[in-house]
């Protein structure tokens, strides 16, 4: 299990390849891997966005993500979990977050991944400040809550 916050560009495939190379103890046990990658769009609430600054609360963000992973592990049979979240300055198309779940069975891998993303969006202390095409900036007010949103 690993959570990390990084100010360096997030390269999901490389991150996953490197992380999976350490999983030798799981050989033959994994039946299902689910991955979510959140990426910066160049439009939000119908306004063009040119860049985004992601702020976090060093220490608490990591602690919060670890708690969420623990909740997921308590709830489902999971073999491994990886969460990586970007902070700092992002451009459109840059990956923001990576959530990967390894399990023997797909139902648990899907459910745990969704749970982690929803909880991360609801609870992890991270804030987005967007720069619009007219150079104005705005803080994103609130993530749409729960499982029924479409963000």
- Contact residues for another protein (CB under 8 A)? 38, 54-57, 59-61, 63-64, 85, 96-97, 117, 120-129, 139-143
φ/ψ region of 117 (left if φ > 0, alpha if ψ in -120 to 50, else beta) reads alpha
Contact call for residues 98 and 15 (beta carbons, < 8 A): yes
Helix (H, G, I), strand (E, B) or coil at 6: strand
Instruction: Tell me which of its own copies, another protein, none is bound by residue 112, counting a contact when its beta carbon lies within the kind-specific cut-off of 5 to 8 angstroms.
Output: none
The one segment of 57-65, 67-75, 98-106, 134-142 that binds its own copies by CB under 8 A: 98-106
46 binds its own copies, rule: CB under 8 A: no
How many separate helices (H) and strands (E) can be counted in the chain? 3, 9
150 binds its own copies, rule: CB under 8 A: yes
Largest CA distance in the chain: 53
| Interface residue list for its own copies (CB under 8 A) | 13-14, 16-17, 27-43, 92-93, 104-110, 113-114, 117, 147-151
């Amino acid at each position: 299990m690993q959570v990390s916050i990084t100010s360096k560009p997030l390269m999901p495939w490389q991150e996953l390849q490197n992380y999976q190379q350490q999983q030798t103890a799981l050989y033959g046990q994994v039946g299902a891997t689910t991955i979510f990658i959140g990426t910066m769009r160049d439009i939000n609430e119908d306004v063009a966005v040119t860049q985004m600054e992601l702020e976090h609360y060093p220490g608490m963000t990591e602690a919060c993500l670890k708690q969420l992973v623990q909740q997921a592990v308590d709830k489902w049979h999971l073999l491994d979990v990886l969460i990586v979240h970007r902070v700092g300055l992002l451009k459109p198309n840059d990956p923001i977050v990576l959530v990967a779940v390894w399990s023997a069975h797909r139902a648990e891998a899907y459910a745990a991944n969704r749970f982690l993303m929803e909880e991360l969006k609801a609870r992890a202390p991270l804030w987005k400040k967007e720069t619009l095409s007219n150079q104005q900036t705005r803080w994103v007010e609130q993530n749409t809550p729960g499982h029924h949103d479409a963000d």
